[in-house]
Each structure stands twice: as structure tokens, then as C-alpha cells.
Structure 1
């Protein structure tokens, strides 16, 4: 990947309305990496490992490794586009620049907001389930309390939100690192599991392929980094680095945890358990399973906070460009955050969480995310084809990267619809 010097700006209307107060640049590389890793690792791996192992068997680490390779294509496309157009509501800005269509830009922006809102609602339900193990409150009351409190944190300030999210990240990642550390201490044959090359058999390879489809969704979340680009201290340098480090850290954790899981717990028990990592944790550490439940609560809270923060920035970006009402572009002079946009997200998440089944929310999030990923890759191809230049110094990736990224996303969409 190479850098390009500043050139003529394209895709950003010169008469776009400007927000009364700009967002504050308060995020350095360490906080960006913790933010990205926290969203990506999130709550998914704590339940997803069982489903992946159920299809890929002892070759589950291969499924996670292949999913990471596929995701790397879209990560690369996001890196180029985020350095070309370092603005909030990134996906919408990319599409507007590529197709010069305000309608298409608004649709992608709405889809991105919808993904974050629906994902927050789904994870809030999961969080309430874990919290009920410790607090005898009605699920509906827990959902409302969680969303309102995290919405207040998101409105308090971007630095405060990301610092809290970073603390959550250290705890949830610490849970995965603890599993790996206990496994090493107990002489679990992790190396043998990682070097276990699958045979060239149709049944085995098809199981790994379907496991890869499931594992792909464990890597979703890195893209939220592009929507805090206006709050990064040095966006051109730090956003690409944060994306790459997020992918590398997540991949290492997933592959090692998958290796430990298939070495310590039977595939049948992993596949059938609603909390497979609790089984793994108990097998390698003999620790009370409530410990992993506490970590899972932290993971879910982290995901909700990050998704609501991201959604409010997309709303802010669209409002500032004139696509949404200007009231949504207002930034509090005291907190440096789009408070009205944040309140709107809170008001949308709560009724969704209280009225729509969890399975529908999760499936809708996955499919919509793939549509956005495909649109981002297509936007980059379109920009390259039209020879659109950028006023920003930007990273440049080989043209085959977004091409393969589109193919991978469309294949995932087809697989999801045909299941």
C-alpha cells in the first residue's frame, strides 16, 4: 500500500452545511486500537465458537484463519477510503463520491445506522440475560437501564466513552487471554491443533467452509473506526494502523482460543452449549462459570456502547452534509459530542430490543453488514474506474483487493440467504 499526495477533492459538496461546533480530536492510536478490538471481539466469540466447531470440528482454527483472510480484503478497502475521505458517516461519503448520488448515499447511511441500532438492541437482550444471573430484575427493566446508562456515557464525551470501552476491552480480551494462558500452563496441545492440516475431502472442506461463513461475523466491528475518524488525533496515520492491528489481534485471539476449545471440550458439547467458552474456561482453569458470565456482561456492554457511539456519528455526519435535519448535527460545546443524535439512537434501540426477537435482530445485522461491505468495495472500484482524485494524502491498495472483496461479500450474502 502506498501514499498519495494531496489532490483535487471529489465527492464532497462545496456548499455542504457546517455544524455549529466540530467534533474534538482526542483519540490517539492506543485508544483507537482498544476501541476497534473491543467492537470486533465483542460478545460474538463467547457464543460463536461452539457453532463454528460444530461445522468445522477440530479444524475450527482454520475457519477463523480463512475468515480473517477474507475480511482483510474489505479492511484494505476501508483503509484507502477512510484516508481519501476522513469524515464521519464514512460509508455514505464513499458512496456519494463514487456514484454522485445523494439518494444512494442516504440509503447506505440509513443502513449503517440501522445496523448499529439493531445490533445494539440484539446485544442489549443478550446482556440482560447475563445480568439476570446476578440481578433479579425483569428483563425489560434491565434493557432500558443498560441502554439509557450507556447512552448517557456516549453523550458525556468521546474520550470518556472510548476510555470506558477500552477498560471493557481489556477485561473481555483478558478473559480470552486467560483461557490461552491456562491452556499453556496445563500443557494443552495447542501447537498440534494449529498444525492439524485438514485432508482434501469434500465433507471436511465443506464443514470448514461453512464454519468460515459463521466465523466471518466474529470479525465484524472494525469498520466502526472510520466513523470516529474526525475524532482521531492523526487520522491519516492512526486509523489504518488501528484497523490492521485490530484485525491481527482479533485473528490471533480467535485462532488460539479455537485451538484450545477443540483440544479441551468435545465437539458435541461445544456445538450444543449456549455458553461454550464457559465449558472451555472450566476445563482449563476449573474456575466458577459465573466468572466468564461477568466477562460476557462486560463484552456485551462494550459492544452496545461502541455501536451507539458509532451510530450517533453517522447521523451527525449525514446531518452536517445536509442529508438529515440540521438539529442532528448540533455538537455540545461542553461535551464535544452530538447529544441530540445520541438521544435519537437511545430512543430507537429501546423499543427494538423490547419488541423484536433476538434471532431476527442478529440475522438482520449480519446480512445488512455484508450489503454495506459490498457497497464499500464497489465504491472503491468505481472511484478507481472514474479516476476520482482526493485532496487528502491517502493509502492506495491494489485494484484486485476491492474486486475480490466484492466477490467475497456477495458469496457470503448468497450463503446466508440459502441457509
Structure 2
């Protein structure tokens, strides 16, 4: 007698699981590309601008602080640690490159997960990215004030009062105004338009690369062979430990993938931009690392303090203060560039989620005159400003890294799923050595996630639970995919017209 009831319950459970893991057809994702309420995004970004967007998001605070923490672990072999971390990042970068060339839309790993792993997984991925982007850019903004104060001190012998330059509870701080200022500067640039933001970022990236090359030129004049002997005093264990430390200096190479709907030729340019940016950043890191350990003995890095490690190298190499003043100015520019590009990425992920109905429609409203999501940008800037001005972020910043690794792993899985389900799709780039490369990408990400501390996992799980509550209270009820016929919209024929501006492989 209970058989019909059980069958009904099983049918209901099956329908629920189907609705949670329904995928959005690739052709539909591409066809909707660029469209938002009130207007559409403008395809204006060239290969150079896309590449420098990823470089701008990656080459920031990491290189200015990471050496002081990594060199004591590996000695001069920190150079190999950067290479090891780059190889680890490369596995994920190659998967990003394939999906960016196959699904050239805004949303990055969120959109890729929606097309391959289903709505719930995509939501969790997007939700984790929102935490990682918002908190990381807030932390970067907080650091901007510190470097600005350092520059003022060296150039003008003046520093801002702690009450307005430190976070509450730190050194007598009340509100961190410099952090708010740099976020507002980035907001103004983003509101002026994507093309203008890309031009500003291009200028800043060239400036900070120039400053780091200046550091190398000065440091190499004091290079001493004895400082790099023995080359690997801690052995492979030290190189591996330093590699884990410097890996997070590579986070940001995927920034170009959030510009899929504003690239002139996304199928060709997005994969190239991702791989080129990783190559450029790796070359800069290796050069800076080699110059630093050659100019100052590696044991002295543990005494110099992480934030001042590069400045300390220049001070000891020249005996003068003006080189480190230039370096401080470069750090100010570098951090401003990171704030700009990461904020851009967050607004585009929210734009894609809003277009799918999973977050409120205000985030997809595009200004017809500026071709940018104005309200979206202002809301993101306001939220980040409050975080940066009022909250000492501390260990919470490290906890956000797990969200990035989670997204990286999903992208590698997505490549394998899409190869099986849609092998006929045109791909601007194919991951080499498939399926070994994406499998290694998943493996390395899981390895690094398992090695993170308990606090990191706790923050990740709490944030994920909050995201699930938001999904069931709002996202699932407003999903446009659920409202479409059978939850899938138009038939996924595999022959949908490419988005405007796409090139063929």
C-alpha cells in the first residue's frame, strides 16, 4: 500500500536532484553573451589588454612581500620554488584556456561550471569567488595605505596619522581612509568604461614591471656568487615548502576569463592571454628572486621582515634611500592595478549570475551610454570599502584562498566533462596531454586544499552554508534556467551562432 507513496517520494527526490544539477546549454550561454538589462557590454579589449588585465591582477602585493617569507624556507633555490608554483598553476591555466576559448562569456569558472557540472555547483563556485574577490581586494586595499605611507616617509618625511591609515584596533586606527580612496579610484575608472579601465591598467602594469626591472638592475650590480652557494641548503623539502608559500602569488591569472563578453576576438585571445600572462609573471618572479638572493644573503631575509624585504635589498645594495623610494612607488601602483582588475572581475561574475536569475537583477543593468554595469560596480565598491575601512582582515585573507583552489579544481573537472558531453564544440584552444593535464590540475588543487589549516576550512564551510541558504531562499526560485521549458531553454543543437566578435580556431 505504501508503494505509490514511495514511488512519489522517489520521483520527487529525483526531480529535486535534477533541478539542482541541471546544466545550462553552452549554445544558450554563448548566445546570451554581452546582454544585460538596459544595454549590452561592448567588445573593446584587445589581446594585449586582456593579457595585461591578468598580469595586473596577478603581479601585485605577492612579489613585494612573499620573498621575505619564502627565502628562509628554500634559500637561493626560491627561484625553483617560483618555477614549481608556476608549473602547478599552469595545469589550471591550461584548463581555463580551453574553457575560455569554448565558452567565451563573463563569469569565468562560474559560467564554466554551469555548463558542465550544474546549477548548484556553479552557484557554490560563484559564491566562493565572491568571498575570495571581495576579501582579497579589501586586503590589498588595506596594504595600499601601508605602502603609500612608506613612500611618503621616504620622499617627504611625512606619514599619515594611524587613526586614519590603520584598521580599527590596529596601532590606534579608527578608519582606514587610504583603503577607501584606492577603491573609489578603481570604481571611477570602471564606471568610465571598460576601454578606459583597460588603458589605465595597461599603463599601471607597464609601470610596475618597469619598477621591478629597475629593482633587478640595481640588485644585480651587487650580485655576489657566494650568496647563492649552496644553492639549495634545505633540499627539495625546502623548495616544496617555499613553492606552497609562493603559489598564491599566481592567483589572478584567470582575470582575462571574466572579460569574455568584452574581448574583440574571445575564442582566440582569451586562451592566449591566460597562458601569456602566466609566462610573463613567472619570468618577472624568477628574475626578481634571483636578483634578491644574489644581492643579500638568504639568511638575512628572515631578519628583514617580509613587507620590507625588497626595500631592504636595495638599501643594503646601494646604501641610499632613493632606490627603495622608487620601489615603494612601484608597490603603490602595483596594488592599485590589482584593486582595479579584481573589482572588474567580481562585477562581471555578479553580472553573469544576475543574468541567470541567481542574484537580483540590479547586478545586470548595463548603462546604454557607458556599456558598463553601473549599479553593480557601485554596490561592489561600497561593500569592499566598508570591509577595507573597518575590518582588520588578518587570517581571514588566507582563508579565502581555498575558494580559489576550489574554483580551479572545478574548471579542470569541467574540461573533462565537456570533452565527453560536447566533443564537437569549436575550441579556440585544446588542453595538451589530455586527460593527464586536467587530472593533475585537480590533484594539485586538492593537495593544496588539504594542506590548509582548520580555520581556513571552517571559514570555507560556513561561507558555503550561507551560500546554500541564499541559493534555496532566492537563487533557485528565480533561476531563469528553471523557468525555461524543461529547465533547458532552446534545444542545444551545437550549432548556435557564435557571439559577436568571436574568431574561429
- TM-score by length of structure 1 reads 0.90
Q: Match of 1:394?
A: 428
Select 2:237's aligned residue among 206, 222, 228.
206
Residues 1:282 and 2:315 aligned together: yes
Select 2:374's aligned residue among 329, 335, 339.
339
Task: Check whether the contact 1:36–1:224 (CA below 8 A) recurs between aligned residues.
Answer: yes
Deviations 1:382-412 (A, max 9, x none): 323x422464433221211110000101111
Select 2:47's aligned residue among 15, 29, 33.
29
Residues 1:89 and 2:122 aligned together: no
Using a 3 Å threshold, how does the CA distance of structure 1 residues 410 and 294 change in structure 2: closer, same or farther? same
Using a 3 Å threshold, how does the CA distance of structure 1 residues 67 and 326 change in structure 2: closer, same or farther? same
Comparing 309-318 and 127-136, the one that deviates more = 127-136
CA distance in 1, matches of 2:255, 2:355: 19
CA distance in 2, matches of 1:39, 1:69: 19
- 3-state SS of the aligned residue for 2:452? helix
Task: Check whether the contact 1:119–1:365 (CA below 8 A) recurs between aligned residues.
Answer: yes
Q: Match of 2:26?
A: 10
CA distance in 1, matches of 2:226, 2:41: 47
Q: Match of 1:48?
A: 66
Task: Check whether the contact 1:38–1:302 (CA below 8 A) recurs between aligned residues.
Answer: yes
Q: CA deviation at 1:36?
A: 1.5
Q: Match of 2:254?
A: 223
Deviations 1:191-245 (A, max 9, x none): 995x97648xxx5211111100011111111111100121111111111111121
Q: Match of 2:441?
A: 405
CA distance in 2, matches of 1:390, 1:340: 38
Select 2:143's aligned residue among 126, 129, 146.
126
Deviations 1:172-195 (A, max 9, x none): 1111111222344x26258995x9
Task: Check whether the contact 1:67–1:213 (CA below 8 A) recurs between aligned residues.
Answer: yes
- 3-state SS of the aligned residue for 2:61? coil
Q: CA deviation at 1:117?
A: 0.9
Using a 3 Å threshold, how does the CA distance of structure 1 residues 356 and 190 change in structure 2: closer, same or farther? farther
CA distance in 1, matches of 2:67, 2:365: 42
Q: Match of 2:123?
A: 106
Q: CA deviation at 1:280?
A: 2.0
Q: Match of 1:325?
A: 360
Select 1:353's aligned residue among 371, 388, 405.
388
More relative contact order, 1 or 2 (CA 8 Å, 6+ apart): 1
Comparing 143-152 and 77-86, the one that deviates more = 143-152
CA distance in 1, matches of 2:298, 2:231: 17
Structure ID, larger Rg:
2
CA distance in 1, matches of 2:96, 2:276: 14
CA distance in 2, matches of 1:157, 1:362: 29
CA distance in 2, matches of 1:278, 1:25: 40
CA RMSD between the two structures: 2.5
Select 1:57's aligned residue among 75, 88, 94.
75
**What is the number of equivalent residue pairs in this alignment?**
405
Select 2:300's aligned residue among 256, 262, 269.
269
Task: Check whether the contact 1:46–1:296 (CA below 8 A) recurs between aligned residues.
Answer: yes
CA distance in 2, matches of 1:59, 1:255: 10
- 3-state SS of the aligned residue for 2:277? helix
Q: Match of 2:459?
A: none
Q: Match of 1:3?
A: none
Comparing 360-369 and 343-352, the one that deviates more = 360-369
Q: Match of 2:160?
A: 136
- 3-state SS of the aligned residue for 1:323? coil
Using a 3 Å threshold, how does the CA distance of structure 1 residues 13 and 176 change in structure 2: closer, same or farther? closer
Comparing 280-289 and 212-221, the one that deviates more = 280-289
Select 1:378's aligned residue among 392, 413, 432.
413
Task: Check whether the contact 1:33–1:243 (CA below 8 A) recurs between aligned residues.
Answer: yes
